[in-house]
Structure 1
């Protein structure tokens, strides 16, 4: 496994400098699987939560009520090290690409001392939102709302 110093262009394990915004999630006993580490489904919960909580906080509105909403077009996760209960998880957020109708996010999941074992991501998710017209039942792609663009532009790396 190779280690990065801020770049995630290849298969490197990203560090904390690779992300622009942060939030913390608690872990629960039920998050661990039969093998004693965080269940893979929980990683996807965390990735989704990091993106949507940032959007809600940064815009100050209920993003579900916008005329254009982001729907998930793709999500993936690369795993580097185990995580699990009872330690909190820090979620770093960055925007890889901000297009006309889509946003590509990267979400780093960290656990442990930031100056030690927690300096590098335990996992990194890739999350693609495509904006669609929330007023049209066919939901055709539509430009990203300005309020969302303003909330995610500072996260570009």
Structure 2
């Protein structure tokens, strides 16, 4: 039970922070990107605060021998910047700029029954499934050519 309680509480705190900061409002996010119009710098402060908390949190957590609730830390091992990373980042940025939602903000928005969030999350899930199918198809094609 403890394995699920900790992630649930962390997600709850994250969702509450996103909701309190107003970042579940797509208009607030879109105004951040509208530098020549109704620019709203509050997203920069939210992201800056998140970076500070993450920086300190990683430093403290990685000094520990392991996570409190078992296993080991699972950190990325790849450091190269490749085509899928660049393309995925571009798609993420374009989607965020068009919709005003990112995955982190869309989930708490679901809890507030925002219809736009429902459409966004459904589209995001569909995109994930399509990307996985394309990846499997490409991997199978490469395996046949080898």
Higher gyration radius (CA): 2
Q: TM-score, normalised by structure 1?
A: 0.21
Q: Which has the higher strand share?
A: 1
Greater per-residue helix proportion: 2
